[in-house]
Amino acid sequence: LLKFQYRNQSFDSVFYFSGNPANEIVNLINTNRTAIKLPKLHDSPGLGCMALQYISECMGNCSSNNTVSCNPPEVDITEVYAPNCGVELPTLDTISGHLVACQQKYLQAEEAFSAILFRDKRTLSLLHSKEHTEVGVGFNRAHHGAFFWCVLFSSGRTNSTFVLEGGSGIAQRSGCFSGANVQCSAGTKFLLIGPSVVITFSIILHYITAVIVF
């Protein structure tokens, strides 16, 4: 267990996340859909990884008012992101919708879902589309910068589309995506409270204890 403790009286933001925030967004999507009698969507790891790749194109493009100003060519979703994830090309299918959002501060899944992802008639219409059968979500943070969420929907055949090679595909360097049974950023947990910041890194292969106080 490696523990860092940082104190800065000028710091007043608060956020905490652990586990996999992308999985939490998928759970909220399906809870919202089933509440109005729509079917649950299959949680596709392949789509989730591609959503994480989409975010990589948008890093550094979150404005001060939390607007994403990036529009990668839609063809990149299948021609660039899929290969980078190790998605088996014969299993690619139709992307029936996508959205990306950012925030300068971390938001819990429930707030991210309602405040920045599905906050208006257009995005709620996308969420409630009967065309979708699958969903994948990516989550990442720019280096010392904004947090990004991306949702990809597909109308493909569940369980047989966007299949990752070897079951896990190509390992991603940062962030996390839905459908993967791993914690975000290799098991990192962050706890920031008021002027104090406590960052705990869980290291599985080594047992190290250190405390650094600035």
Residue 81 sits in the same domain as residue 123: yes
137-187 tens-digit pLDDT: 999 999 889 999 999 999 998 889 999 999 899 999 899 999 987 777 633
3-state secondary structure 160-186: CCCCEHHHCCCCCCCCEECCCCCCCCC
Residue 12 sits in the same domain as residue 86: no
Residue 127 sits in the same domain as residue 173: yes
Domain CATH number, residue 60: 3.40.33.10
Residue 109 sits in the same domain as residue 212: no
Residue 124 sits in the same domain as residue 135: yes
Residue 5 sits in the same domain as residue 38: no
Residue 54 sits in the same domain as residue 14: no
Residue 53 sits in the same domain as residue 144: yes
Question: Do residues 138 and 51 lie in contact, with contact meaning Cβ atoms separated by under 8 Å?
Answer: yes
Which has the closest alpha carbon to 176: 126, 96, 120, 109?
109
Residue 150 sits in the same domain as residue 176: yes
Look at the chain and report how many structural domains it folds into. Answer: 2
Residue 28 sits in the same domain as residue 132: yes
pTM of full prediction above 0.85: no
Cβ-count burial 121-142 (b if 16+ within 10 Å, e if not): eebeebbeeeebbbbbbbbbbb
Q: What is the mean pLDDT of residues 13-17?
A: 45
Residue 132 sits in the same domain as residue 144: yes
Say whether pLDDT at 61 is over 60: yes
Band of pLDDT at residue 199, cut at 50, 70 and 90: very low
Find the domain containing 204 and state its range: 1-18+187-214
d(CA 189, CA 122): 34
Residue 156 sits in the same domain as residue 99: yes
Instruction: Return the higher-pLDDT residue of 88 and 193.
Output: 88
Band of pLDDT at residue 206, cut at 50, 70 and 90: very low
